[in-house]
Amino acid sequence: MSSKNLLVELFVEELPPKALKKLGEAFSDALANSLKNAGLAPATASITAYASPRRLAAHVTDVAAVAADKPVAQKLMPVAVGLDAAGNATPALLKKLAGLGIDAGAAASVVASLRRENDGKADVLFFDSLAKGATLAEGLQKAIEAALAALPIPKVMTYQLQDGWSSVNFVRPAHGLVALHGGDVVPVAVLGLNAGRETHGHRFEAAVDPVVFANADEYAAKLASEGAVIASFAERRAEIARQLEAAAAKAGQATGAALRPIDDEALLDEVTALVERPNVLIGQFEQEFLAVPQECLILTMKANQKYFPLLDATGKLTNKFLVVSNISPEDASAVIGGNERVVRPRLADAKFFFDQDRKKSLESRVIGLSKVVYHNKLGTQGERMQRVAAIARAIGESLGGEALALHAEQAAVLAKADLLTDMVGEFPELQGTMGRYYALHDGLAAEIADAVEDHYKPRFAGDTLPRGMVGTVVALADKLETLVGMFGIGQIPTGDRDPFALRRHALGVIRMLAENNLALPLDHLLQTAAAPFASVDGFKAAEAPLADFIYDRLAGSLREQGYTAQEVDAVVSQRPQRLGDIPKRLAAVRAFSGLPESAALAAANKRVGNILKKVENAVEAVVDNALLKEAAEIALHDALVEVVPQADAAFVTGDYSESLQALAALRAPVDAFFDDVMVNAEDPALRANRLGLLAKLHVAMNQVADISKLSA
């Protein structure tokens, strides 16, 4: 059966820019999948997605006009029910066939052709037939409707159709539908629109209007040449990136410095969704604005104007920026001048906020935190600040004595003060960043100022850690206060719900403890963090579930880093208190797994654990030499006497690989013990002594990790 390429385009009013990329991908994927499921397109069909501010489109290759007929097997009933002793159809079978549209006259011939097959219980009658394949018009109608229904639309709007009576729901009003199979229009309709072969190009720069397509394959080329639109999101994005680099190089030549546009993938996606044919222009603003922290200027240009600030080779902001325009006039000076006039008040506002904020010190703002509600059950930001400061002081004292404790406490007190500044009020994303600038302006030490900014770190996966010990201590205190507080009032994440980002806070704590190898036992740290909550009404310490939560996040993080589930379970199940030890423990487990003795010892450890679990009372790892009777148990005890000191000595020095590998010498005596010794002896004293021997073995084998987890 011959096939042709298919083009479908929905022409709409401007789509939400932050959603356009996903909308385009979802539309084309859903459309193509529906056609494939209907048998109208092969699995190998090539799909090309198009998405511009005013259109969603898809090009699908090798689409058939009519799908092939499909064999259908209809299960009817057991042979014993459908046929009588003479092999004739029973009334039940005739009724079933009538329901399938087979009249009484044709029933006899159909009955003779019924297939018999055993379904595992009895012989069953099957009616085999061919289902007529869907036409493209039928299949495409369903495919478009399914594609529109499946779009990840941020917000639906209701609008009225041209008849003045009907209304439909869609992300934006739709004004045109193109559906071409080769050169033929497919008669489909959606959102009150009938398919045709016409669309509209650029609002101002299209060479013709409407743009008329002779066939599906000329869509992108003709839309570009006659409509002045780059329909492909990916091609438009690449063109913007190319123009940005070229414009940055041009601007750099004019100033004699190497310049580069700020790297922001999200901004590039958003700008791609705002223009149909990009034209990058160079603008500039007054040098005096560069006295404002560059983070403020960059944020206002990106967030409010969608400009790309230009940076020098050191990453310092210059007074030039790039505008991605949607028009290409011969003289662009008016466009450039307009953008420069628009951005100037934004920068002036930032300068005003910065100048006003510096008239008051950070310390003078701290008292105002007592008027800012943090959580109705946990009090104000002022009360929270006091808790964070207390936790920071305790952690600082543990890690660096009184000096670190005082610096950490001071930074913690000031850390949230910039929330009350005008700049952060306008740009909440700058909290912490502005605190650092204002702390330096107040004459505070650099490590205090850095800590004010860094206490939010790591803000996201892959973010850098605080740059100094003061910042690390305050960041730990801040995240632990959030975790302990929220768990203490029952705000525990469930499923996908995590409104207070507790998973992110837990991972931040894990990274700081592990990557800095801090000498802070986790359980003691949680107890320290819980102490300042003693006077909070309704707070109930939840250190155990919080510890479980942190170890769960730790296990997930380690698996994402490439460690096997067995390796992670072996280490994390022991709940090591020093998280900085975990990489060494994992390396030791991996090395141990490569030993020829590891599988047998892992299985033996699992067996020992199961035996000890069945004993009602806890078994002490104590052995009475006088009660060792069998040669195998004497040999195992002697091996433990020799091996355990070696393993313990290596463990104490942190040589976990050596500690685990020392256990390899136990394989033979352990195997012999289980072959030759009855643990559950009738003599209670003998049985207790052998259980004590196994307990001693169990302790020795589980110092670094629970190696039973390595057992298949």
396: domain CATH number? 1.10.3210
Identify the domain containing residue 336 by its residue range. 233-357
Q: Is 156 inside a domain boundary?
A: yes
What average pLDDT does range 630-657 have in this prediction?
88
- For residue 640, pLDDT beyond 90: no
Return the sign of the alpha-carbon dihedral for residues 622, 627, 633, 638: positive
Number of domains in the chain: 5
Tell me the two tokens of residue 550.
């942190």
Q: Are residues 207 and 250 in the same domain?
A: no
Q: Are residues 322 and 459 in the same domain?
A: no
CATH of the domain at 691: 1.10.730
What average pLDDT does range 285-292 have in this prediction?
95
Q: Are residues 392 and 289 in the same domain?
A: no
Q: What is the pLDDT of residue 7?
A: 96
Q: Is 574 inside a domain boundary?
A: no
Biggest CA–CA distance in the chain, Å, is 106
pLDDT tens profile 148-186:
988 888 788 888 887 778 888 888 999 999 999 999 999
∠ CA 161-165-169, nearest 5°, is 45
Q: Are residues 426 and 550 in the same domain?
A: yes
Q: Is 571 inside a domain boundary?
A: no
Q: What is the pLDDT of residue 96?
A: 81
Q: What is the pLDDT of residue 135?
A: 86
Mean pLDDT of the chain: 90
Spatial separation of the C-alpha atoms in residues 669 and 671, rounded to whole Å = 5
Beta bridge mates, 379: 375
Q: Is 575 inside a domain boundary?
A: no
Q: Are residues 142 and 24 in the same domain?
A: yes
641 alpha carbon, distance to own chain's centre: 50
pLDDT tens profile 682-711:
888 888 888 888 888 888 888 888 888 887
Q: Are residues 42 and 151 in the same domain?
A: yes
Q: Are residues 16 and 40 in the same domain?
A: yes
According to DSSP, the β-strands at 308-311 and 279-284 are unpaired
What average pLDDT does range 516-535 have in this prediction?
94
Q: Are residues 592 and 672 in the same domain?
A: yes
pLDDT band, very low/low/confident/very high, at 533 (cuts 50, 70, 90): very high
Amino acid letter, residue 42? P
Q: Is 569 inside a domain boundary?
A: no
Domain boundary among 87, 112, 131: 131
Q: What percent of the chain has pLDDT over 90?
A: 61
Q: Are residues 189 and 51 in the same domain?
A: yes
Q: Are residues 177 and 38 in the same domain?
A: yes
pLDDT band, very low/low/confident/very high, at 105 (cuts 50, 70, 90): low
- For residue 712, pLDDT beyond 70: no
Among residues 402, 401, 407, 513, the alpha carbon closest in space to that of 470 is found at 407
Q: Is 246 inside a domain boundary?
A: yes
Which one-letter DSSP state was computed for residue 89? Answer: B
Q: Are residues 155 and 49 in the same domain?
A: yes
Tell me phi and psi for residue 548, to 5 degrees: -60, -45
Q: What is the pLDDT of residue 251?
A: 92
Q: What is the pLDDT of residue 169?
A: 85
Q: Are residues 459 and 557 in the same domain?
A: yes
Q: What is the pLDDT of residue 104?
A: 64
Q: Is 338 inside a domain boundary?
A: yes
Q: Give the DSSP per-residue string, 160-202.
A: E-TTSS-EEEESS-EEEEEEEETTEEP--EETTEE-BSEE---
Q: What percent of the chain has pLDDT over 70?
A: 99
Tell me the two tokens of residue 235.
């091609």
Tell me the two tokens of residue 73.
């097997």
**What is the chain's alpha carbon radius of gyration, rounded to the nearest angstrom?**
36
pLDDT tens profile 13-48:
999 999 999 999 999 999 999 999 888 899 999 999
Domain boundary among 225, 250, 275: 225
- Enumerate the H helices of 169-322 as residue ranges: 219-225, 233-255, 265-272, 294-305
Amino acid letter, residue 656? Y
Domain boundary among 193, 225, 257: 225
Q: Is 281 inside a domain boundary?
A: yes
- For residue 224, pLDDT beyond 90: yes
Among residues 574, 569, 576, the alpha carbon closest in space to that of 555 is found at 569
